[in-house]
Amino acid sequence: MKRTQGFTLLEIMVVIVILGLLAGLVVPNVMSSLDEANTQKVVSDINAYESSLKQYFMDAKSYPTTDQGLDALVTKPTSAPIPKKYRSDGYMDKLANDPWNSPYYYKRPSDHGQKHYDIFSAGPDGEPGTCDDIGNWNVDNPPASDCANN
């Protein structure tokens, strides 16, 4: 009698259980690393925006208004106050989105009082004004991505 080779149902179930246990250990660590990487990208982007805003201020003698927004770093504003001195190539090549594919927000004057303006990401939930916002007022101690659950 010829015997076929293959795996028994028990062997397959053991392998699935082992893979499930490994996934249970690895996935939380990978997700935590992803959250940290996303936060670091936001911090880096905010620092780049602040650097460009400082250069803009040195030329224009004021910061863009909330209405002009961060677009003023890429193209010369057409609404008042229009800067008399503006770099021909702007102050940034293009505006970046945050890691959750939302635009960065800009508000002047600042609601947080530490600078003349606020630059922030709305965080993973994509809604500005919630506890997971990462802004120039809290880049040194950004909120946890699950701040609502803390």
Q: Which two tokens stand for residue 62?
A: 């004021």
19-51: per-residue pLDDT in tens?
Answer: 888 888 777 766 667 788 898 999 999 999 999
The residue among 26 and 77 whose pLDDT is bigger is 77
The identity of residue 104, as a single letter, is Y
Check residue 24 and give its pLDDT: 80
Tell me which residue of 53, 71, 74 sits closest to 116, measured CA to CA. Answer: 53
Three-state DSSP state, 93: coil
Residues 6 or more apart from 48 whose CB is under 8 A from it? 92, 96
89-142: per-residue pLDDT in tens?
Answer: 999 999 999 999 999 999 999 988 778 999 999 999 889 989 889 999 988 877
Pairing assessment for the beta strands 134-135 and 105-107 based on DSSP bridges: unpaired
Check residue 140 and give its pLDDT: 82
List, in order of start, the domains of the chain with CATH numbers.
13-140 (3.30.700.10)
Q: What is the pTM of this model?
A: 0.75
Average pLDDT estimate for 67-84: 94
Q: In what order do the strands lie in the sheet with 134-135?
A: 105-107, 118-121, 134-135
